[in-house]
Copies of this chain bind each other. A is one copy, B any other.
Amino acid sequence: MKGKVYLVGAGPGDPDLLTVKALRLLRAADAVLYDDLVAPEIFSLIASNAQLHNVGKRCGKKKIEQEQINFLMVGLADSGLNVVRLKSGDPMIFGRAGEEIEALRQADIPYEIVPGISSALGAAASIEIPLTHRRISSAVVFITAHHASGSDAINWAKLAGSGGTLVIYMPGPNYAEIAGKLRKAGLTDDVPCALVSKATTSQQRVHLTTVGRLKGAPQLPAPTLLVVGEVVRMAHADSIGQFATSLTDGQSLSSIFIEDAPSSFRAEEPVA
């Protein structure tokens, strides 16, 4: 008898943000195929006798081709194992679930998709930025920087210039290029931005800046997200401060967003 494949969202990192269903499936899985970006805290929840397969394809360096992942996933299920294909965040948002679903359908393997907290939602909760706000922004866009180059069917400038909150997944190291594209889409230098690294984990780091100063932002460890828009002004000093020592007592968070704020301010510095 064939096993079943569960395409499961692992959420942003904090194991407490797994869904009840994801936790139950991880505990019962015969085999787990996971990405590099899945937070290590999650692994202790997997049944100790389960097969573990790292099928990560991090930062464009394809260690394993998608076709190989599909082949392994189908093969394990075909041999009768219940397989969890664990993806960071949500499988349906920048998770390549579409391609894996096609492979599973083609191979006639039973499967089910279990949503997860997408990283943007985890980051927003953690640093207290509402992604939509009745008075500030009534739309939110999830996009990747990768497709900013223009060869894609997506009109990046339309999305960036829509006035909605923008969440850029996998912004990559070239912040100057992103800032240039944001300006080209009509955003002014004073629009606030938040870089969030390893959202919701104990290693979370946050850097608040503006479009004008984005190019000088530090490179934070992946996975990172860049949130752009007026809602970023709502970020809370205490929630950032848990991960930053340099926010001095009484310093207003809004001072970060003033172009001439002291450059020594670095919200991203880790707790000593």
- List A residues at the B interface (Cβ < 8 Å): 9, 11-12, 14-21, 23-24, 90-99, 101-102, 105, 113-118, 121-122, 124-126, 128-144, 146-147, 152-156, 158-159, 161-164, 231, 234, 236
Q: How far is the CB of A111 from chain B (nearest CB, A)?
A: 9
Q: How far is the CB of A267 from chain B (nearest CB, A)?
A: 18
Q: How far is the CB of A46 from chain B (nearest CB, A)?
A: 15
Interface contact A147-B139, CB-CB below 8 Å: yes
Q: How far is the CB of A9 from chain B (nearest CB, A)?
A: 8
Say which residue of B113, B134, B139, B234 sits within 8 Å of A159 (CB atoms): B139
13 other A-B residue contacts (CB within 8 Å) besides A93-B132, A99-B134, A132-B142: A11-B19, A17-B115, A20-B20, A91-B125, A93-B121, A93-B131, A101-B236, A113-B126, A116-B117, A116-B121, A139-B156, A154-B163, A159-B159
Residues of B within 8 A of A16 (CB): 19-21, 24
CA distance A152 to B24 in the complex (A): 43
Q: How far is the CB of A176 from chain B (nearest CB, A)?
A: 21
Residues of B within 8 A of A130 (CB): 91-92, 95, 97-98, 101
Q: Mind listing 18 A-B residue pairs with CB under 8 Å?
A: A16-B19, A17-B115, A19-B19, A90-B125, A92-B124, A92-B125, A98-B133, A102-B234, A113-B124, A113-B128, A118-B121, A139-B142, A139-B147, A139-B156, A143-B164, A154-B164, A155-B163, A162-B162
